Amino acid sequence: VCLLFQALCQISQRTISTASRRQFQNRVPEHQKLFQEDNGLPVHLKGGVKDAVLYKTTMVICVFGTLYTLYHLAVSSMPKKQQ
């Protein structure tokens, strides 16, 4: 049990120490320019093709959900047939 605990401690220290060495480039100014530029696009579509695909997919799911809800409301409002 003691050896297992020691191994876990070493692995966690190694992971933490190597993670702090990684340097990421600060891209905030680039994104600020992109989102503040006046090109007539709404903010939720300024990210490019990925944003457009996500937006259209969301709209399709919303329309489908609304139609599905209306269908089930119509079906549940009809009286059941008596046999």
pLDDT at 78 over 80: yes
What is the total count of domains within the chain? 1
Q: Which two tokens stand for residue 52?
A: 């457009």
Residue 82 lies in a domain: no
Q: Determine the 3-state secondary structure of 46 from DSSP.
A: coil
Contacts (Cβ under 8 Å, ≥6 apart) of 35: 43, 46
In a domain, 54, yes or no: yes
What number is the average pLDDT over the span 7-13? 74
CATH of the domain at 9: 4.10.91.10
Q: What is the pLDDT of residues 17-73, one digit of tens each?
A: 555 556 788 999 998 998 899 989 898 889 889 999 999 999 999 999 999 999 999
Whole-model pTM: value is 0.58
pLDDT (0 to 100) of residue 21: 58
* Structural domain harbouring 29: 1-77
